[in-house]
Structure 1
Amino acid sequence: MTDTAPAAPAAPFGTRLRRAMDARGPLCVGIDPHASLLTSWGLGDDLAGLERFSRTVVEALADRVAVLKPQSAFFERFGSRGVAVLETCVAEARAAGALVLMDAKRGDIGSTMAAYADTFLRPDAPLFSDALTVSPYLGYGALAPAVELARESGAGLFVLALTSNPEGAEVQHAVRGDGRTVGSTMLAHLAAENAPEVAGGAPLGSFGAVVGATLADLSAEDLAIDGPLLAPGIGAQGATPADLPRVFGAAVHQVVPNVSRGVLRHGPDPAALRSSADRFADEVREAVGRG
């Protein structure tokens, strides 16, 4: 064993994501070991249950889905030992070929934002992930340390822009002095990050937005950011793959639908988890015309 740090990915995140979705289907499956799911799997709400849950999901799905999205909070609640389980989960998922999107929704300023970026986006970090969710509501410019490190390391970001939770509207739909909403402003920033002169003409940019699949009307939004659109809300929250063309319109081919409970509720049987994920991926392919 050597002390050599792992190399950064050979291709930018957006390029790797496009390849993964083309090969495995456009689907992201969450790893959300919250107490009710652990109980429904017959597991304890404890470290042993956390380990069993996360390992089962990774072993069942990491070799077949494009993206796995661990929700960091459900691991952090067990303290340092829970974070150690998360480290193993990330490493094993990436080793099996899945891209890992860390759902941590970090957002801060200055050196603190830089430290968050180091935690998840530096290739030699124990929690290095292919991409990270971030919150821009201290100002998009405050995300600069994460943007810079993601670009340097070949990782990606998903910025909260138009989320599906009802509370988000009071911030995201607020109108700025220039007449644009805050959410629209975030989309414009991401389009600039993915511009060919900045991103080098990759097939898909590495800087994406979180845009809820449950939102009724996005016709006023410019979703052509040349980057991925992470779309939570498929499955248990009520949206279906068939809704995607209506919600996202011409940008539907950039969408990465996220399913969590809709797949995870079929555990702990690995075959049932695989069957559910395959079914969602097939439905998405059919809906967006990538069959």
Structure 2
Amino acid sequence: MIQKLIEEITKKNAPVVVGLDPMLSYVPKQIQKAAFEEFGETLEGAAEAIWQFNKGIVDAACDLIPAVKPQIAMYEQFGIPGMVAFQKTVAYCKEKGLIVIADIKRGDIGSTSAAYAVGHLGKVTVGSKSYAVFDEDFATVNPYLGSDGVKPFLEVCKEQDKGIFVLIKTSNPSSGEFQDQKVDGVPLYELVGRKVAAWGEECMDGDYSNVGCVIGATYPEMGKIMRQKLPKSYILVPGYGAQGGTAKDLAVYFNEDGL
């Protein structure tokens, strides 16, 4: 799957991803009005508004960008209607030829993690049939529970040619409370990076692995270190713009091949 992402980035000359994190307050009033006229000021109305907003963004940007990243919490807050909007958004993006990176940050014990992996990246079995449920291309994964929580995702990635981005150093201000703590003199984020490298060897797709990582644009000095230590891993870099990351900061996250 990472090769497909690379192909799209190269074709469009745009190593960017558009976040689809629709807060209802961001949705233009005319879109909200139309949705509320049809469904009322209900969860269904809110879900319709964010779906129509997403559709407009995708229609405007799909020829320019390789990928989108919907943040699932923005849909979950509206319950089942919100999740329907999430599913419709994922399907529409794929219909438009975009790579979908589901920002779900899942991570749990083995059987639960397996259910997350199957639900988002794989296929669930129902009797004699199997179904791809959300069917995203990549998902973000929280490694805090260790290999037990990540390996089910690796298995699905290998079976279905999908990918994951493992959280290493996140962009939020308090990330250092845990991620910067040292274990035998080594920062925790670097230890996680070592595991990402090992997991990635199991899921190679050409020169790069289907196991990438997440390192915030707000910590370029750490991004530079981890880029050197993870030459085969793609780095998903949140935090550009509103959170403080700049274009200059982003340069250190790229390999010499521009990827």
If the length of structure 2 is used for normalisation, what is the TM-score?
Answer: 0.84
Which residue of the partner structure matches residue 17 of structure 2? 28
1: distance between equivalents of 2:207 and 2:25?
A: 40
2: distance between equivalents of 1:36 and 1:223?
A: 41
Equivalent residue runs for 1:249-260 within 5 Å: 250=255, 253-254=258-259
1: distance between equivalents of 2:30 and 2:242?
A: 17
Equivalent residue runs for 1:20-99 within 5 Å: 20-24=8-12, 25-38=14-27, 43=32, 46-99=46-99
Gaps of 5+ in 1: 1-12, 255-291
The counterpart of 1:189, out of the listed 192, 195, 201, is: 195
Indicate whether 1:161 and 2:149 are aligned. no
Deviations 1:205-240 (A, max 9, x none): 111110011114225444424021000111222222
Which residue of the partner structure matches residue 175 of structure 1? 182
2: distance between equivalents of 1:82 and 1:116?
A: 18
Partner SS for 2:115: helix
Moved more, 200-209 or 25-34: 200-209
2: distance between equivalents of 1:226 and 1:104?
A: 23
2: distance between equivalents of 1:193 and 1:115?
A: 19
Equivalent residue runs for 1:263-274 within 5 Å: none
Which residue of the partner structure matches residue 214 of structure 1? 218
Equivalent residue letter for 2:208: L
How far the C-alpha of 1:47 sits from its partner, in A, is: 2.3
2:157–2:203 contact (8 Å) kept in structure 1? no
Partner SS for 2:221: coil
Which residue of the partner structure matches residue 149 of structure 2? 142
How far the C-alpha of 1:242 sits from its partner, in A, is: 2.8
Which residue of the partner structure matches residue 114 of structure 1? 114
Deviations 1:1-47 (A, max 9, x none): xxxxxxxxxxxx11111111111221100001113312577636812
How far the C-alpha of 1:98 sits from its partner, in A, is: 0.5
Higher RCO, Cα 8 Å, sep 6+: 1
Which residue of the partner structure matches residue 260 of structure 1? none
Moved more, 118-127 or 130-139: 118-127
Relative to structure 1, is the Cα distance of residues 184 and 232 closer, same or farther in structure 2, using a 3 angstrom cutoff? same
1:140–1:186 contact (8 Å) kept in structure 2? no
Moved more, 67-76 or 55-64: 55-64
1:14–1:203 contact (8 Å) kept in structure 2? no
Q: CA RMSD in A?
A: 2.2
1: distance between equivalents of 2:238 and 2:54?
A: 20
Relative to structure 1, is the Cα distance of residues 63 and 96 closer, same or farther in structure 2, using a 3 angstrom cutoff? farther
User: Percent identity at matched positions?
Assistant: 32
2: distance between equivalents of 1:107 and 1:230?
A: 18
Aligned residues: 238
2: distance between equivalents of 1:236 and 1:76?
A: 23
Indicate whether 1:15 and 2:15 are aligned. no
2:9–2:15 contact (8 Å) kept in structure 1? yes
